[in-house]
Amino acid sequence: MGEQVIPEQLLADCHLLGRFQASTVLLHRNAAVPWFILVPQTPLCDFLDLPDAVREEVVCQCVSISAFIKQELGFDKVNFAGLGNVVPAMHLHIIGRRPQDACWPQPVWGNLPEGASYSAEKLRDWQTRLARRTGLQPASPADHE
Protein backbone atom coordinates (compact mmCIF):
# COMPACT_ATOMS: atom_id res chain seq x y z
CA MET A 1 0.00 0.00 0.00
CA GLY A 2 2.99 2.31 0.23
CA GLU A 3 4.10 4.60 3.02
CA GLN A 4 1.25 5.89 5.16
CA VAL A 5 1.03 9.65 5.62
CA ILE A 6 -0.58 10.70 8.89
CA PRO A 7 -2.41 14.05 8.65
CA GLU A 8 -0.47 16.91 10.25
CA GLN A 9 -3.38 17.83 12.56
CA LEU A 10 -3.40 14.34 14.06
CA LEU A 11 0.38 14.38 14.51
CA ALA A 12 0.14 17.75 16.25
CA ASP A 13 -2.58 16.49 18.63
CA CYS A 14 -1.27 12.99 19.30
CA HIS A 15 1.60 10.71 20.25
CA LEU A 16 2.47 7.99 17.75
CA LEU A 17 2.25 4.71 19.70
CA GLY A 18 2.82 2.19 16.94
CA ARG A 19 1.46 0.29 13.99
CA PHE A 20 -0.59 -2.69 13.04
CA GLN A 21 -0.08 -4.19 9.59
CA ALA A 22 -2.36 -1.70 7.81
CA SER A 23 -3.00 1.05 10.35
CA THR A 24 -1.35 3.38 12.84
CA VAL A 25 -2.29 3.88 16.50
CA LEU A 26 -2.13 7.35 18.02
CA LEU A 27 -2.89 8.61 21.54
CA HIS A 28 -4.29 12.10 22.08
CA ARG A 29 -1.79 14.22 24.02
CA ASN A 30 -4.41 15.39 26.54
CA ALA A 31 -4.39 12.76 29.29
CA ALA A 32 -7.78 13.78 30.72
CA VAL A 33 -9.22 10.66 29.04
CA PRO A 34 -7.49 7.77 27.24
CA TRP A 35 -8.27 8.84 23.65
CA PHE A 36 -6.82 6.47 21.06
CA ILE A 37 -7.03 7.15 17.33
CA LEU A 38 -6.61 4.38 14.78
CA VAL A 39 -5.63 5.58 11.29
CA PRO A 40 -6.18 2.90 8.62
CA GLN A 41 -3.79 2.98 5.68
CA THR A 42 -6.25 3.82 2.92
CA PRO A 43 -7.04 6.68 0.54
CA LEU A 44 -10.74 6.25 1.42
CA CYS A 45 -12.29 8.81 3.76
CA ASP A 46 -15.30 6.90 5.09
CA PHE A 47 -15.05 3.76 7.21
CA LEU A 48 -18.15 2.18 5.68
CA ASP A 49 -16.54 2.38 2.21
CA LEU A 50 -13.73 -0.02 3.16
CA PRO A 51 -13.77 -3.44 1.49
CA ASP A 52 -15.33 -6.07 3.79
CA ALA A 53 -12.08 -7.85 4.69
CA VAL A 54 -10.23 -4.61 5.47
CA ARG A 55 -13.18 -3.24 7.45
CA GLU A 56 -13.27 -6.46 9.50
CA GLU A 57 -9.53 -6.24 10.21
CA VAL A 58 -9.84 -2.59 11.29
CA VAL A 59 -12.82 -3.41 13.53
CA CYS A 60 -10.79 -6.20 15.17
CA GLN A 61 -7.97 -3.72 15.84
CA CYS A 62 -10.46 -1.26 17.38
CA VAL A 63 -11.94 -4.06 19.50
CA SER A 64 -8.46 -4.93 20.80
CA ILE A 65 -7.83 -1.29 21.78
CA SER A 66 -11.25 -1.16 23.45
CA ALA A 67 -10.39 -4.33 25.41
CA PHE A 68 -7.12 -2.70 26.48
CA ILE A 69 -9.00 0.37 27.72
CA LYS A 70 -11.47 -1.75 29.67
CA GLN A 71 -9.27 -4.57 30.96
CA GLU A 72 -5.90 -2.87 31.39
CA LEU A 73 -6.93 0.71 32.18
CA GLY A 74 -10.12 -0.12 34.12
CA PHE A 75 -12.73 1.86 32.17
CA ASP A 76 -16.28 0.50 31.94
CA LYS A 77 -17.37 2.60 28.93
CA VAL A 78 -15.71 3.09 25.54
CA ASN A 79 -16.93 5.60 22.96
CA PHE A 80 -16.22 4.69 19.33
CA ALA A 81 -16.58 7.08 16.40
CA GLY A 82 -15.36 7.87 12.92
CA LEU A 83 -16.22 11.47 12.08
CA GLY A 84 -13.68 13.03 9.74
CA ASN A 85 -15.27 16.46 9.50
CA VAL A 86 -12.18 18.45 10.53
CA VAL A 87 -9.54 15.92 9.42
CA PRO A 88 -10.99 14.20 6.34
CA ALA A 89 -8.44 11.33 6.27
CA MET A 90 -10.02 8.20 7.74
CA HIS A 91 -9.38 7.86 11.46
CA LEU A 92 -11.35 6.16 14.22
CA HIS A 93 -11.67 7.34 17.81
CA ILE A 94 -11.65 4.84 20.69
CA ILE A 95 -12.07 6.69 23.99
CA GLY A 96 -12.26 5.43 27.56
CA ARG A 97 -15.02 7.19 29.50
CA ARG A 98 -16.29 7.16 33.07
CA PRO A 99 -18.65 9.32 35.12
CA GLN A 100 -15.69 10.91 36.92
CA ASP A 101 -13.94 12.11 33.74
CA ALA A 102 -13.44 15.78 32.92
CA CYS A 103 -16.32 16.14 30.45
CA TRP A 104 -18.82 13.43 31.45
CA PRO A 105 -21.55 12.99 30.24
CA GLN A 106 -20.85 15.30 27.30
CA PRO A 107 -18.83 14.11 24.28
CA VAL A 108 -15.11 14.83 24.44
CA TRP A 109 -15.24 16.97 21.27
CA GLY A 110 -15.51 20.59 22.32
CA ASN A 111 -15.75 19.69 26.01
CA LEU A 112 -12.28 18.39 26.87
CA PRO A 113 -10.56 20.87 29.21
CA GLU A 114 -6.84 21.43 29.09
CA GLY A 115 -5.29 18.49 30.87
CA ALA A 116 -1.98 17.02 31.81
CA SER A 117 0.04 15.26 29.15
CA TYR A 118 1.40 11.73 29.31
CA SER A 119 4.85 11.09 30.74
CA ALA A 120 7.41 9.26 28.60
CA GLU A 121 7.25 6.43 31.16
CA LYS A 122 3.44 6.11 30.81
CA LEU A 123 3.70 6.10 27.00
CA ARG A 124 6.33 3.32 27.08
CA ASP A 125 4.23 1.34 29.56
CA TRP A 126 1.11 1.56 27.43
CA GLN A 127 3.08 0.69 24.28
CA THR A 128 4.51 -2.40 25.95
CA ARG A 129 1.12 -3.50 27.25
CA LEU A 130 -0.57 -2.84 23.88
CA ALA A 131 2.16 -4.80 22.10
CA ARG A 132 1.65 -7.74 24.44
CA ARG A 133 -2.16 -7.63 24.24
CA THR A 134 -2.79 -6.58 20.63
CA GLY A 135 0.37 -7.24 18.61
CA LEU A 136 1.03 -3.52 18.15
CA GLN A 137 4.49 -2.83 16.71
CA PRO A 138 5.69 0.02 18.98
CA ALA A 139 7.00 3.24 17.49
CA SER A 140 10.39 4.46 18.65
CA PRO A 141 10.42 6.88 21.62
CA ALA A 142 11.44 9.72 19.27
CA ASP A 143 8.14 9.24 17.40
CA HIS A 144 6.20 10.31 20.52
CA GLU A 145 7.23 13.91 20.03
The residue range of the domain holding 47 is 8-136
Backbone angles phi, psi at 33, to 5 degrees: -140, 150
Is 30 contained in some domain?
Answer: yes
Is 2 contained in some domain?
Answer: no
Residue 1 banded pLDDT, cuts 50, 70, 90: very low
Residues 4 and 24 sit within 8 Å (Cβ to Cβ): yes
Q: How many domains does the chain have?
A: 1
Residue 3 confidence (pLDDT) above 90: no
Residue 135 confidence (pLDDT) above 90: yes
**Partners of residue 93 on adjacent β-strands:** 37, 81
Is 144 contained in some domain?
Answer: no
Q: Tens digits of per-residue pLDDT, 9-25?
A: 999 999 999 999 889 99
Which residues contact residue 38 at a Cβ distance below 8 angstroms, ignoring those fewer than 6 apart? 23, 24, 25, 26, 58, 61, 62, 65, 91, 92, 94
Q: Tens digits of per-residue pLDDT, 36-50?
A: 999 999 999 999 999
User: CA 136, CA 118: separation in Å to the nearest integer?
Assistant: 19
Bigger pLDDT: 110 or 130?
130
CATH value at residue 40: 3.30.428.10
Is 62 contained in some domain?
Answer: yes
The pTM assigned to this predicted structure is 0.93
Please tell me the predicted confidence (pLDDT) of residue 115: 83
Instruction: Give the CA distances from residue 75 to residues 51, 54, 60, in Å, rounded to whole numbers and listed in that order.
Output: 31, 28, 19
Q: Tens digits of per-residue pLDDT, 57-114?
A: 999 999 999 999 999 999 999 999 998 888 889 999 999 999 999 999 999 988 999 8
